[in-house]
A and B are shown apart, each in its own frame.
Chain A
Amino acid sequence: MSVAYRVVQWNPQKRIYDGILLAAVAFYVVGFMWVTPLFDTNADPMNVPIRAYGSAAFILLTIILSIGPLCRLDSRFLPLLYNRRHMGVVTCALGLYHGYLVLNWYHKYGNIDPLVSLLASNTNYDSFFSFPFETLGIGALLILIVMAATSHDFWLANLTAPIWKALHMGVYVAYTFLVGHVVLGALQSNTNPILATFVVLSAFWIVCLHVVTAWRENRHDQNTSLDPEGLIDVGPVDEVPEHRAKIICASGERIAVFRYDGKVSAISNACQHQNGPLGEGQVIDGLVTCPWHGYQYDPASGASPPPFTEKIPTFAVFIRHGRVLLDPTPHPAGTPVEPAIVPNPSSTQSPDNQEFFVGYFPTMTKGMSRFISRRIAVLLLAVVMLVFVLPVLHGEYHHARSDFRDVREFDGFLRAAPAPHIVVVRPGETGKHAFSRYVLIGRGKSGPKIDVAGLDGKYVRVRGTLIYRDGGTMISVKGAEEIPAPSTSAKTEPLDGEPLGTYTLQGEIVDSKCYFGTMRPGNTAVHRQCTVRCIAGGIPPVFLVRDESGNTMSFLLVDSNGSTVNDRVLSMVADPLEIKGEVVRLDNLFVLKADPTQYRRLS
């Protein structure tokens, strides 16, 4: 069986298949990362690859899940199924890299191990909208990893096809997890209706395709009735196409009745490889050839020719009065059964080779080639379109900056409360608000690594890089030292704050470092875990308030005594909240004093 030797080896079809697959994936990922900054100059260079790899994995999984049912609906899609497992492995690799980037960006430089951070930063499992969507992504990824690891035929042979198949049906669970991951993650932050429509349509497509196929398959699973002798009337012998099979259902399983070279034989419809539908295959060189990957079996014995060892059950068949009768009692796999002889072989139809192709065949029929090339071309065009459309829809990178390469010096008074900050004298004739205040933070997800208590109230020179957005300014501190205060300055002592009254405000808790510029976006659900890590590490929490007129205000959060609240707000970040408290103005900084126990969730 020369063809079967090649089925498990590399062949031109597999190379072309993998070549197109890898080129399309590379084009999409690189294209996404290249196009995004063209549309949005604020695109976060660390965030864009996360979106590129994540969306690539989602799109590829959608394509993979379409192939099976499409093949059931039209066998001309079968060339796509031939190497589908490689697509699965690529999806897994994309997902893994997406996860690695997420770990590296949102969870590194915190006060705990990034992996622990990923699992422990959000434990709102009892909430729908605050649910840790990352866990769903991890679940999907674990399933994909198990599937990729067991995708080789070695595992298929050892586990047996039914168990392997059951294991690999986990992909449907993985897909559901992935839809949940996208809906509770990216689509909570990105409110573009077109992006949501893309996701909804793709999910709708997958569900409909599988439901329709399952319904059609179910119709074919009705048992054929037995005659008084316990035989099944398969039908007139001429109803069985030459070199093809008629499939019947007996005792719940399908049996393929093949007609070939003036004979009729019956074998189990389930290929031993992956339980592919042998009855939809063809007899080639006297051997039944599976349509999925081309495993071959002798129709009379159900055994693969040497050196192969695959065997499937056989059934006895008889021809009486021009009709094929079948004994539904299976013979043990590989048991030779005498074929029934077609009484009038002259009536044999010509072999139908029109639309049958297995990956290791040297050529494809013209019709099938045209069909499949057109489908692939449409798919590739869709990829090109997505490269230009998805980066625009993803968008929503905020106008914020981190001058992380531009180290500067700032002179001013250091103040430890309500959060470490430096008070810089404003030039010119200033009047009431004579100072600008820049909050100090440290590298990574931490507060400033300087002696804040020792320098409190002193005139200092701070070295660091700026982070800024919408009038809020922070310094990522590299060092600080006390220096003499300028004797000429009359504005030597900043005020302690101007009370503005008590207000009830609605907003979201964010970590000031990411929101003001380190990450874009630096708030909402996708950023929740990073926010938790930053605030837990000492970055001041900020309450972000926006009104319908477009005004955005941010308030440093402290409790009613003016003490930090970092550890007390972790479970409430990135959720809509209502806080009633006293607002104090410190020049350009606004402080909201309220006890975290009084914060009220709005959803």
Chain B
Amino acid sequence: MIRTRRLMHRQMFLLLAFLIPALLFVGLAFRPDVPPVSKPDITLLTKAGFAPTLPGNLTRIQAGEQGFEIGLEAKSPMTSSLIIRSVNPLLKPDLLVYWVPESIQNHSLPEHALLLGELMGTSFRHMTLPTAATTEPGSLVIYSLAHQEVFTHFTLPSLVGSEKGAHAS
């Protein structure tokens, strides 16, 4: 190259030697969290059906390919609640959680199935179990309403004799 071009190259890189590292530094060191991670709003989460506080004893249940974590709490002799989440994000639309007193045999939702709530991603969801569940564990059916099919089902661990939580089935 002729001298003026060498000079141009040198001057450009004197500038770029500051500009490029500065761009990388600011762009990476100060990049904002999007979306930002916020503190959980316990009130909102509770009202929205999430479970912001978890029972001490969570049980992992494998239903076919799909893993769930559940916790059972007997709040009084007559009422108990279920905390449930899918371990992995579920690729099914509008997944509803139903309770049935018996274990279901075929892959359809019984008419008397009782809706407990809906799953949302991998978040823990809080659901109230019917009184009957305190004596007869029954089964949970995960039903995709938008696909109108039972996604999976499994027997609920027994609450009888357990103050703390569920046992693996």
**Interface residue ranges, A against B (CB under 8 Å):** 128-129, 161-162, 165-166, 169, 172, 176, 179-180, 183-184, 187-189, 191, 196, 199-200, 203-204, 206-207, 210-211, 214-215, 217-218, 221, 252-254, 270, 275, 277, 399, 401, 408, 410, 424, 426-431, 433, 436, 438, 466, 468-471, 473, 500-501, 503, 505-508, 523-525, 544-553, 574-576, 583, 585, 588, 590, 602-603
Contact = CB atoms under 8 A, between A and B. Distances in A.
Contacts of B92: 468
Interface string B113-125: 1110111111110
Interface stretch (B16-24, B73-81, B153-161): B16-24
A331 B12 CA distance: 32
B33 to A, nearest CB: 6
A215 B117 CA distance: 69
A187 B26 CA distance: 12
A401 B44 CA distance: 27
7 contacts: A169-B12, A200-B24, A211-B14, A428-B113, A524-B34, A551-B52, A551-B123
Interface of B: 1-6, 8-10, 12-14, 16-17, 19-21, 23-24, 26-28, 30-41, 43-45, 47-48, 50, 52, 88-96, 98, 109-115, 117-124, 143, 145-147
Given A506-B38, A548-B38, A549-B52, A129 B31 contact: yes
Contacts of A468: 92-94, 146
Which of A180, A523, A553, A585 has most chain B Cβ within 10 Å? A553
B32 A427 contact: no
A214 B94 contact: no
Given A430-B115, A500-B47, A506 B123 contact: no
Given A179-B20, A552-B123, A545 B35 contact: yes
Nearest to A474: B93
B35 A473 contact: no
A473 B10 contact: no
Given A471-B95, A576-B34, A200 B28 contact: yes
Nearest to A468: B93
Contacts of A207: 13, 16-17, 20-21
A473 B146 contact: yes
B114 to A, nearest CB: 5
A535 to B, nearest CB: 16
A501 B23 contact: no
Contact of A576 (B10, B32, B112): B32
Contact of A546 (B38, B48, B145): B38
Contacts of B123: 470, 550-552
Contact of B34 (A188, A211, A215, A426): A188
Contacts of A252: 3
A588 B24 contact: no
B3 A473 contact: no
B60 to A, nearest CB: 16
B20 A203 contact: yes
B34 A506 contact: no
A576 B33 contact: yes
B130 to A, nearest CB: 9
Contact of A583 (B3, B44, B50, B98): B44
Given A200-B24, A207-B17, A576 B40 contact: no
A184 B24 CA distance: 9
A501 B43 contact: yes
A210 B13 contact: yes
Contacts of A399: 88-91, 121
Contacts of A438: 94, 146
Which of A200, A468, A544 has most chain B Cβ within 10 Å? A468
A549 B32 contact: no
B39 A187 contact: no
Nearest to A552: B121
B9 A210 contact: yes
Which of B13, B37, B43, B117 has most chain A Cβ within 10 Å? B13
Given A196-B28, A207-B20, A471 B118 contact: yes
Contacts of B20: 176, 179, 203, 206-207
A169 to B, nearest CB: 6
A3 to B, nearest CB: 23
A590 B48 contact: yes
Given A165-B1, A183-B24, A203-B24, A428 B115 contact: yes
A470 B3 contact: no
B27 A401 contact: no
Contacts of B110: 428
Contact of B44 (A161, A426, A503, A603): A503
A553 B38 CA distance: 12
Nearest to B25: A200
Which of B20, B88, B109 has most chain A Cβ within 10 Å? B20
A401 B144 CA distance: 14
B45 A436 contact: no
Given A184-B27, A427-B109, A428-B113, A470 B38 contact: no
B112 to A, nearest CB: 7
A215 B10 CA distance: 8
A434 to B, nearest CB: 8
A325 to B, nearest CB: 23
Contacts of A552: 120-121, 123
Contact of A429 (B1, B10, B114, B120): B114
Nearest to A437: B94
Which of B30, B38, B113 has most chain A Cβ within 10 Å? B38
Contacts of A199: 24
A505 B41 contact: yes
Contact of A506 (B5, B36, B120, B122): B36
Contacts of A602: 32, 36
A135 to B, nearest CB: 15
A214 B15 CA distance: 12
A275 B16 contact: no
A270 to B, nearest CB: 5
A548 B36 contact: no
B35 A507 contact: yes
A183 B24 CA distance: 7
A327 B37 CA distance: 73
A449 B17 CA distance: 53
Contacts of A546: 35, 37-38
A471 B1 contact: no
Contacts of A206: 20
Nearest to A554: B120
B27 A508 contact: no
